[in-house]
A = this chain, B = another copy of it.
Amino acid sequence: MIAELVSVGTEILLGNIVNTNSAYLSEKCALLGLSVYYQTVVGDNEARMKETVRTALDRSDVVIFTGGLGPTEDDMTKEVVADVMGLSMAEDEHSRKRIETYMKQYEKNDKKRRITSNNYKQALVPEGALVLDNQNGTAPGLIIEKNGKTAILLPGPPNEMKPMFEEEVYPFLRKKQPEIIYSQMIKICGIGESQVAEEIQDLIENQTNPTIAPYAKTGEVHLRITAKGESEKECKKMIKPVVRELKNRFGKNIFATEEDKTLEEAVVDMLKDQGLKLSLVESCTGGAVAARIVNVPGASQVFTHGYVTYSNRAKRRCIGVKKSTLKMEGAVSAKCAKEMAKGGCVVSGTDISLSITGLAGPDGGTKETPVGTVFMGCCYNGKVETREFHFTGNRRKIREQASAHALVMLRECIMEGIYKKD
């Protein structure tokens, strides 16, 4: 089956945003065994949209649209697709009620917000369309089928589009596609991308089915093993020896074999298994590590205290870093990181505490302590381990890398503890 992606929005044509939706949807289509031959971006212009919709529906079996479902005059994806497919529009009562509920919650929060007639435009749907509820916004999605062609309309914001795709569109397309594609994820941390690539070069060369595709993320490398076959059972059988081999090669560096499992989830699971309580003492990351841990549902069982000791005074007063340490070694030093981690355990009463102190720039760098220098400490079982990092890139990139490596360090320190206990 041939699929095509159409993104609608002048903001993409002006370069205001990068079209990440198409990359996401392309990856998902590949997983489903759909062949994507074209991706198109078109602006909020009726004539050009009509041309694009006609061409896409003509040459492809499934066309996935993103964007242009909002309440403004500019948003006309639904109207144009209905027009090209020869369908009239009617109000969907269920959608109208959902929009009213959603907007009323907003009104409660903010007296200045009101339901406007614009919002009701979002409840109009082409006849016979399947309406997809939007759990994260007001614009519903749509699946429209006619004459063997399928148009799927999704909202533009990725945080609305992705959950809708996963919950509703993926299962729908799964049923349409008889060839089975099955894939298994292996997520690795603690080794760099190029080293991973080198260690699997022999496996990747001349691969046909299954295939291994590496994707690099900050502090992580993901390997997707994909097989095509007649049944899930057959695919799983083909994948099994490859997974075994990768497990042999990367061992403890593998933190997840599930598609959706994040590094922070792996860390929270470990803490739960060991019955450990965690505290975090952050300086340059400013709460970003805590925010990642709190992303995990149920994190409250293991994470109790976070300190963002951004000033030297806070480091001294909240957490007990010595005045002499700050004076002699500075806040960006192994000694400070050590005292922060130790202080974290003492002040919060947790079993394990991780600290991060560094220089994210752009100013403040010296020859001895250049921008990108980050020290981390981990206090566990009365011992404190420290590590020194030198990251590159801008402020945001440095803090992002520091947060990722903090989670990697935390994971390794918990593991060391586990293996010592055995």
Contact = CB atoms under 8 A, between A and B. Distances in A.
Interface of A: 10-20, 22-30, 36-43, 45, 48, 52, 55, 70-73, 102, 105-106, 108-110, 112-114, 116, 118-119, 135-137, 157, 159, 163, 190-195, 197-198, 201, 204-205, 213-216, 224, 280, 282, 284-291, 293-295, 297-300, 303-311, 313-314, 318, 348, 360-363, 372, 387-397, 399-400, 405
Contacts of A198: 116, 118
Given A70-B216, A294-B308, 17 more contacts: A12-B23, A13-B36, A14-B26, A15-B25, A18-B20, A19-B19, A19-B22, A71-B193, A71-B194, A73-B204, A113-B195, A136-B393, A280-B308, A287-B291, A295-B395, A304-B314, A306-B308
B191 A113 contact: yes
Q: Which 9 A-B pairs have the closest CB atoms?
A: A286-B294, A306-B308, A287-B287, A15-B27, A15-B26, A287-B290, A39-B41, A304-B311, A136-B393
A216 B12 CA distance: 13
B136 A397 contact: yes
A38 B39 contact: no
Given A193-B70, A394-B163, A26 B10 contact: no
A110 B376 CA distance: 14
A38 B41 contact: yes
Output the residue of A18, A41, A137 with the most chain B CB within 10 A: A41
Contacts of A318: 305
Contacts of A391: 105
Contacts of A308: 280, 287, 290, 294, 305-308
B135 A393 contact: yes
A308 to B, nearest CB: 3
Contacts of A25: 15
Given A42-B37, A286-B293, A286-B306, A16 B112 contact: no
A395 B262 CA distance: 15
Contact of A45 (B37, B43, B309): B37
B197 A297 contact: no
Nearest to A119: B194
A49 to B, nearest CB: 10
Nearest to A135: B393
Contact of A290 (B109, B286, B304): B286
B285 A291 contact: yes
A392 B110 contact: no
Contact of A10 (B118, B213, B361, B399): B213
A310 B314 contact: no
Contacts of A307: 306-308
A394 B136 contact: yes
30 contacts: A11-B213, A12-B22, A12-B26, A13-B26, A13-B38, A14-B27, A16-B224, A38-B52, A40-B41, A70-B193, A72-B214, A105-B372, A114-B195, A116-B197, A118-B194, A118-B198, A135-B392, A284-B294, A285-B291, A286-B287, A286-B291, A287-B294, A291-B399, A297-B363, A297-B395, A300-B310, A304-B310, A305-B314, A307-B307, A308-B308
B396 A159 contact: yes
Contact of A102 (B16, B291, B314, B392): B392
A40 B5 CA distance: 10
Contacts of A118: 194, 197-198
Contact of A195 (B12, B16, B112, B387): B112
Nearest to A47: B37
A155 B109 CA distance: 50
A257 to B, nearest CB: 16
Contacts of A70: 193, 216
Contacts of A17: 23
Contacts of A400: 159
A224 B74 CA distance: 14
Contacts of A298: 363
A346 to B, nearest CB: 12
